[in-house]
Structure 1
Amino acid sequence: MRSQTLWEARKYEEAFGKAISLQERPGFHLSPRTGWMNDPNGFSWHDGKYHMFYQYHPYDSHWGPMHWGHAVSTDLLHWEYLPAALAPDEIYDRDGCFSGSAITLPDGRQLLMYTGVVKERQANGGYNEVQAQCLAVGDGVDYVKYDKNPVLDEKDIPEGGSRFDFRDPKMWREEDGTYRCIIGNRPADGSGQILLFESPDGYAWHYKKVLAANHNRFGKMWECPDFFPLDGKWVLLTSPQDMLPSGFEYHNGNGTLCLIGAYDREAEEFTEETDQSIDYGIDFYAPQTVLTPDGRRVMIGWMQNWDTCNHRRTHDEAWFGQMSLPRELSIKNGRLYQTPVRELEEMRRDRVSYQGVTVSGTIRLEGVRGRRVDMEVTVRPEEGCDLYRKFAIRLAQNDLYHTSLSFRPGESVLKVDRKFSGSRRAIIHQRRSKVNHRGGELKLRIILDRFSVEAFVNDGEQVLSAVLYTDQEADGISFLADGTVNIDVVKYDLV
């Protein structure tokens, strides 16, 4: 039986999505068809295309009852909208279809696993969300919810685990044909844990063990987990709520955490070795990865932060929220490295190059401007001069506006600052990150799209992401030095 709720959402998004012109959207970052977007869901390769589902409220550009939006791509940069895949239309998910994942079954169909939410009245008169895991199966466009949903609920949670914080399943298929999934949960200590479940067929699931426990080290509840092998190690990604800063790590409150370690597949034991933030900028949360057909591990996150959702273009915009640039992942020297997906290079046009430019004060370079830009900058001290005190790049700039990336080698600190980007709200507009440099030499690759900047440091050792809602006419780029620096710049337009 066709769902009236889903039919109405599809009808609405088709009509109102058409009203948003391509120029009003990011050029190569996925945004919602209409309305609100948050976490990426079901990021997968299926039937010759990349599929990205997303947390979606089509009727408003603010958070609301969660649906699953749906888009497909062949290159991870140009997306085609498909009809909404899921709507909150069953007794077990009537208050929302929360985050989850997707895999292709041996029979060629696509299986979705998501968290169904039901609000329950509590003794104090308030409401809590009871969360359980549900399935839907389909052909890549239309999906039918499983008649035995939910497949995992409170009876499948280990003792002390909360049924109100039990969400975001990430599935995979093992080499022997069986299935595993991990799910975020809140244990009795009030922090977070990642639970491991297994299934012979993708439909009948049972609890296996706690794969990783927070013990109140990194924030509280751990959301949106992902788990995969990479360069001889295993990587657990998760998004903890309510993190406390540790030096220059974990400044985002609702932040991101990468744990790198070893995984004994026989015992299904994960041993942590190192931890780090995933993104050091202002806007990044809830990433998911996919294994590409050519064997790359690619990650996309929600390029937004729960604490900055009031940072908007206007009060009545037709869409809100966008995904990050797809990033190829690798491990070097025990760290997670991220580089822009190589498909981006196909979009490069009109190369402009400068080598060995001396900067003292402020300069502009002919041909270096734009709001859809891929720019590589290397900064180093000028030979024969003292170490410079500060170097900065101003982007999306005119007489009124700019956003800056500034580096102080004496402190080894790189800062993104968008307080002059056109915001009328005193929310989070700066983030500092400790970066590595060699005697003041630093390498940056800066990707600008219409509504964002992402800065990749030292060939992907760190990334800082931020959304920008500056008028598109502000397309200037300038370089500033307190002291004297020598820079190389290679800039492309992205078309």
Structure 2
Amino acid sequence: MSDLLQKARKFEAEASGHITAEERPAFHLTPLCGWMNDPNGFSYYGGKYHLFYQYNPYHIHWDSMHWGHAVSSDLLRWEYLPAALAPDMPYDCNGCFSGSAIELDDGRQLLVYTGVRQVRDEAKKIRDIQVQCVAFGDGKDYQKYEQNPVIDSTMLPEGASTADFRDPKIWRLSNGKFCCAVASRPSDGSGQILLYTSEDGFKWSYWKVLDANKNRLGKMWECPDFFPLDGKFVLLASPQDMICQKEYSGGNGTVCIIGDFDEKTGKFTEISNQTIDGGIDFYAPQTVLTPDGRRVMIGWMQNWDSCGIREEGSPWAGQMTVPRELFIQNGRLCQKLSKEFFARKKTDVSFSKVIVENERVALNGVKGRVLHLGINLCTDSDSYSWKMRVAENDNFYTELVYRVRENTLTIDRRHSGSRRALRHIQECEILKKSSELSLEVVLDKNSLEVFVNGGEQTMTVAIYTPLEADGISFLADGKIQMDIEKSNLTF
């Protein structure tokens, strides 16, 4: 074990001891200490789910990327393991960036990640050199391969950037070969996803371009994932520098492309594209295939455009979303809460045919910061808007607004307690126009996740509101009928 990895493990063991369970969410993974961003190496190995993450144990801001590590039996209760990787080799001395994991034929777990080192170019500017590397281990301790990097600039197609070449996602083809999708920036300044193959996971060959952005959806595509689902293939990526268009918001966003894939030729034929989440804080999702055949996704519940929301002195920064099962319905990627989540849900109170009009309504027993709400709304021609406030007291609240005539759902966290003028409002156009709207709302201390109409759309936002703000209230402009069920979550 290197000195840098020993240092990180010693530091995190001491620092995490000062963070109480009350300071963390009940069932969303946070870093052991310090900073967290992209989920990495989401996999099932040795009878447990493994989730690694981009990690700076020393501070609550991005720097000197390590890999943090946690395991779980149910995707909700996580046990921290020591840091898995540190930037301790010449080829990754400026960071062990994102990647993935898979089990080898001999039973070892293989980590595939991006190593980063910085150089000065001819203009004396510092730039990254990004290469793909592997490490192998037993589910707790990992050894970097002596012949790293396994994919370097000599294996790039013509015109591809050596500075933007990262985030390998590994899987196996039906013929047993290992395949890896890697994010790349071509000469047009846009993004593309490259494919590499290997017989053993260590010696790799360039195959082809899986898909190219061609400046359609943002610029560089990061953090690809690629998998079969319900008879189609799904490519997930996180574009940088998007402009607002259709259902996509600006800045750093997410894209799902559904299409057909020919394993023999490597040809991917696009059919449709969509955003993955319509909220403020969702990026770099990664999926795992569960032992019972479900495709489950977890994303980073933050956004590069709103990272400053965490203040100095906070015990940690960054968290992951709740696990979401994926399925395709009517040609779109949909998401629902995992069955493990529902096993933890117990109905507390319910109300039917509640009329909400022009006065704010609070319902007996409907309050708290760790809960699930099932809400069905019925509207008519006189209905204009419905509002729900959560994490509410005299000083704070976060608001969910349904504008009936515009058929939009808006998250507004301006009053959640943030001291930064960041992106705090996000509007999402609802796909289906109807007199009824179904919502599932998940609250967990520092987050709000909304599932619309059975998971056709989702909206996610981080809220760092003081926990004493636990009220929930409702208001309507016009008359709206509401059925609501509040469930407690036990852990």
The interval holding the TM-score normalised by the smaller chain is over 0.9
Counterpart amino acid of residue 256 in structure 2 = C
Aligned partner of 2:239 in structure 1 is 240
Deviations 1:242-261 (A, max 9, x none): 011113x2214110000001
Q: CA deviation at 1:436?
A: 3.3
Aligned partner of 2:84 in structure 1 is 85
Aligned partner of 2:463 in structure 1 is 468
> What is the CA–CA distance in structure 1 between the aligned matches of 2:236 and 2:434, rounded to whole Å?
32
- Could you tell me whether the CA contact under 8 Å between 1:60 and 1:318 is conserved in 2? no
The one of 260, 263, 281 equivalent to 2:261 is 263
Aligned partner of 2:172 in structure 1 is 173
- Could you tell me whether the CA contact under 8 Å between 2:100 and 2:169 is conserved in 1? yes
Match of 2:309, SS state, is coil
Counterpart amino acid of residue 389 in structure 1 = Y
Q: CA deviation at 1:298?
A: 0.3
For residues 304-315 of structure 1, what are the structure 2 equivalents within 5 Å?
304-312=302-310, 314-315=311-312
Q: CA deviation at 1:295?
A: 0.3
Change (3 A) 1:438 1:190: closer
> What is the CA–CA distance in structure 2 between the aligned matches of 1:310 and 1:34, rounded to whole Å?
17
Change (3 A) 1:348 1:204: same
Q: Is 2:245 the partner of 1:250? A: no
Q: CA deviation at 1:176?
A: 2.1
Q: Is 2:191 the partner of 1:192? A: yes
Match of 1:15, SS state, is helix
Counterpart amino acid of residue 314 in structure 2 = E
- Could you tell me whether the CA contact under 8 Å between 1:57 and 1:63 is conserved in 2? yes
> What is the CA–CA distance in structure 2 between the aligned matches of 1:235 and 1:350, rounded to whole Å?
35
> What is the CA–CA distance in structure 2 between the aligned matches of 1:303 and 1:28, rounded to whole Å?
13
> What is the CA–CA distance in structure 1 between the aligned matches of 2:278 and 2:250, rounded to whole Å?
8
Q: CA deviation at 1:175?
A: 2.6
For residues 201-220 of structure 1, what are the structure 2 equivalents within 5 Å?
201-220=200-219
The one of 328, 336, 341 equivalent to 1:331 is 328
Aligned partner of 1:118 in structure 2 is 117
Counting matched residue pairs gives: 489
Match of 2:484, SS state, is strand
Q: Which one is further off, 434-443 or 124-133?
A: 434-443
Match of 2:287, SS state, is strand
> What is the CA–CA distance in structure 2 between the aligned matches of 1:387 and 1:48, rounded to whole Å?
55
Counterpart amino acid of residue 87 in structure 2 = P
Aligned partner of 2:342 in structure 1 is 345
Aligned partner of 2:381 in structure 1 is 386
> What is the CA–CA distance in structure 1 between the aligned matches of 2:411 and 2:306, rounded to whole Å?
15
TM value normalised by structure 2: 0.98
> What is the CA–CA distance in structure 2 between the aligned matches of 1:40 and 1:91, rounded to whole Å?
24
Q: Structure 1 unaligned segments of length 5 or more: list them.
A: none
Aligned partner of 2:440 in structure 1 is 445
Q: Structure 2 unaligned segments of length 5 or more: list them.
A: none
Aligned partner of 1:146 in structure 2 is 145
Aligned partner of 1:285 in structure 2 is 283
Aligned partner of 1:415 in structure 2 is 410
Match of 1:23, SS state, is helix
Q: CA deviation at 1:439?
A: 3.4
Q: CA deviation at 1:350?
A: 4.8
Q: CA deviation at 1:387?
A: 3.1
Match of 2:455, SS state, is coil
Deviations 1:181-216 (A, max 9, x none): 000000000000000000011110010000000100
- Could you tell me whether the CA contact under 8 Å between 2:232 and 2:259 is conserved in 1? yes
For residues 26-65 of structure 1, what are the structure 2 equivalents within 5 Å?
26-65=25-64
Q: CA deviation at 1:240?
A: 0.5
Q: CA deviation at 1:14?
A: 0.6
Aligned partner of 2:16 in structure 1 is 17
Match of 1:11, SS state, is helix
Aligned partner of 2:293 in structure 1 is 295
Counterpart amino acid of residue 112 in structure 1 = L
> What is the CA–CA distance in structure 1 between the aligned matches of 2:489 and 2:463, rounded to whole Å?
17
> What is the CA–CA distance in structure 2 between the aligned matches of 1:491 and 1:350, rounded to whole Å?
6
Q: CA deviation at 1:423?
A: 1.1
Counterpart amino acid of residue 409 in structure 2 = L
Aligned partner of 2:354 in structure 1 is 357
Deviations 1:130-186 (A, max 9, x none): 000000000000000000000000000000000000000000012322110000000
Match of 2:322, SS state, is coil
- Could you tell me whether the CA contact under 8 Å between 2:407 and 2:433 is conserved in 1? no
Q: CA deviation at 1:438?
A: 4.6
Deviations 1:195-240 (A, max 9, x none): 0000011110010000000100011001000000000110000001
- Could you tell me whether the CA contact under 8 Å between 2:259 and 2:269 is conserved in 1? yes
Counterpart amino acid of residue 294 in structure 1 = D
Match of 1:445, SS state, is strand
> What is the CA–CA distance in structure 1 between the aligned matches of 2:52 and 2:485, rounded to whole Å?
35
Match of 2:251, SS state, is coil
> What is the CA–CA distance in structure 2 between the aligned matches of 1:412 and 1:264, rounded to whole Å?
39
- Could you tell me whether the CA contact under 8 Å between 2:97 and 2:116 is conserved in 1? yes
Q: CA deviation at 1:349?
A: 3.1
- Could you tell me whether the CA contact under 8 Å between 1:374 and 1:446 is conserved in 2? yes
Segments ≥4 residues shifted beyond 6 Å: none
> What is the CA–CA distance in structure 1 between the aligned matches of 2:15 and 2:256, rounded to whole Å?
38
For residues 394-433 of structure 1, what are the structure 2 equivalents within 5 Å?
394-433=389-428
Counterpart amino acid of residue 181 in structure 2 = I
- Could you tell me whether the CA contact under 8 Å between 1:303 and 1:322 is conserved in 2? yes
> What is the CA–CA distance in structure 1 between the aligned matches of 2:86 and 2:123, rounded to whole Å?
30
Match of 2:305, SS state, is helix
> What is the CA–CA distance in structure 1 between the aligned matches of 2:101 and 2:432, rounded to whole Å?
40
> What is the CA–CA distance in structure 2 between the aligned matches of 1:200 and 1:387, rounded to whole Å?
64
Change (3 A) 1:254 1:438: closer
> What is the CA–CA distance in structure 2 between the aligned matches of 1:196 and 1:76, rounded to whole Å?
29
> What is the CA–CA distance in structure 2 between the aligned matches of 1:442 and 1:436, rounded to whole Å?
11
- Could you tell me whether the CA contact under 8 Å between 2:50 and 2:71 is conserved in 1? yes
Match of 1:307, SS state, is helix
Deviations 1:2-44 (A, max 9, x none): 2000001001101111110000011100000000000000000
Q: CA deviation at 1:437?
A: 4.2
Identity within the alignment, %: 55
> What is the CA–CA distance in structure 2 between the aligned matches of 1:398 and 1:377, rounded to whole Å?
22
Deviations 1:247-287 (A, max 9, x none): 3x221411000000111122111000100000100000000
Q: CA deviation at 1:315?
A: 1.6
Aligned partner of 1:486 in structure 2 is 481
Q: CA deviation at 1:104?
A: 0.5
> What is the CA–CA distance in structure 1 between the aligned matches of 2:347 and 2:299, rounded to whole Å?
29
- Could you tell me whether the CA contact under 8 Å between 2:60 and 2:312 is conserved in 1? no
> What is the CA–CA distance in structure 1 between the aligned matches of 2:248 and 2:120, rounded to whole Å?
34
RMSD: 0.9
